Structure 1
Amino acid sequence: MTELAALDGYGVLTEPATLRIQRLLPGPIERIWAYLTESDLRRRWLAAGEMELKVGATFELVWRNDELSCPPSPRPPGFPEEHRMPSRITELDPPRRLAIAWGTTGGVSFELEPQGDKVLLTLVHRRVPDRSTLLNVSAGWHMHLDLLAALADGREPAPFWDGWSRLKGEYDRRLPA
């Protein structure tokens, strides 16, 4: 079995500008793959956006984090109600690997590995340009993956922004300055 990055769910830096987070989710692998690739499922934990499953295909991710929990928690200052980001599929091996270009902060890859009746999801976000962005990205991915885990388990997700704010402070303490 693959070593979990952090059994407590926190991401770790594998290089100064590379974050890795893992989650063990209920399977089967095809179900978790659908949460990564199908807009109607992905919008419930991350961002909407239709994607053609082929290397080189471009698409737009649309975040509406206020809609990820009911009722929504207060949005921190400086975050818009909606955020859009053009992206492109850079690697594809269904249902095991999806890698995409991620705006100006580098690439993000998702790897899925069956573990009995569960699926190990490994997310790697590369080339995060600075510490401020790293703290936002770390808290964001952690909270978005917590929502995915809740949905996959059939639980009500925790309020997004409350969790993000708490996690940003925790990552500030955990990650090297």
Structure 2
Amino acid sequence: MNDYGTRIASDTVRLERVLPGPIERVWSYLVDSDKRGQWLAYGEIEPHVGGSVEHRFHNSKLTGHDDPPPPEFARYDGEHLMTARVLAYAPPHLLAYTWPGGGEVPSEVRFELAQEGDDVRLTVTHSRLPNRDEMVSVSGGWHTHLGVLADRLAERSPVSFWQTFARLHDEYQRRIPRS
């Protein structure tokens, strides 16, 4: 499996990871605020379609390295609040919600979980991205956050968030065509 996200449509990127299970454990890292806060963002998710989603991001403190973002991402230093709406909620297999971002209309993120023996395949699909720059940023962000999640589930110490994100952002600049 290739760890890099794949552009599957002009406005959509998909990433997959095989993570240590069971599926209920991985699901809990998607919906439980304290567990999600260890790899993405803290905040409550109301467990029904139409429910609210709150994410409180603080990427500089996510991995324990407390590294500052590169200058071009300095606006993301500190805590940032994102609010959204649940689009799908089917434990422990499917979670989807809106994702406010760089466009007038929110994009959408979809998490799909499938048990594979003792492991779980997590597929993250982020769609309705308004432009290539947003797709590059989202791809690098999800790739970095999913690496932190994999480390947390494997009980490893994650590497520096911002150093990893900067490297991956540059890689996605090369991988995602400008067309």
Structure 2 stretches lacking a partner, 5+ long: none
Name segments (4+ residues, structure 1) moved above 3 Å.
none
Q: Does the alignment pair 1:101 with 2:95? A: no
How is 1:62-101 mapped onto 2 (pairs within 5 angstroms)? 62-77=56-71, 78-101=75-98
Structure 1 stretches lacking a partner, 5+ long: 1-6
**What does residue 175 of structure 1 align with?**
176
Q: TM-score, normalised by structure 2?
A: 0.92
* Equivalent position SS for 2:134: helix
**What does residue 126 of structure 1 align with?**
127
Matches of 1:81 and 1:132 in 2, distance apart? Answer: 22
**What does residue 17 of structure 2 align with?**
23
Matches of 1:37 and 1:121 in 2, distance apart? Answer: 14
**What does residue 158 of structure 2 align with?**
157
* Equivalent position SS for 1:161: helix
Deviates more, 1:74-83 or 1:102-111: 74-83
1:40 to 24, 34, 53: 34
Matches of 1:59 and 1:91 in 2, distance apart? Answer: 12
Cα displacement string for residues 59-91 of structure 1 (whole angstroms, at most 9, x for unaligned residues)? 321100011112222212232311111111111
Cα displacement string for residues 8-52 of structure 1 (whole angstroms, at most 9, x for unaligned residues)? 300000001100000000000000000000000001100111112
Matches of 1:111 and 1:87 in 2, distance apart? Answer: 18
Matches of 1:70 and 1:132 in 2, distance apart? Answer: 28
1:123 shift after superposition: 0.2
Matches of 1:174 and 1:124 in 2, distance apart? Answer: 17
What amino acid is aligned across from residue 87 of structure 1 in structure 2? A
1:166 shift after superposition: 0.2
* Equivalent position SS for 1:128: coil
Q: TM-score, normalised by structure 1?
A: 0.93
Percentage identity across paired residues of the two chains: 43
1:142 shift after superposition: 0.1
* Equivalent position SS for 1:92: strand
What amino acid is aligned across from residue 46 of structure 1 in structure 2? L
Give the CA RMSD over aligned residues.
1.0
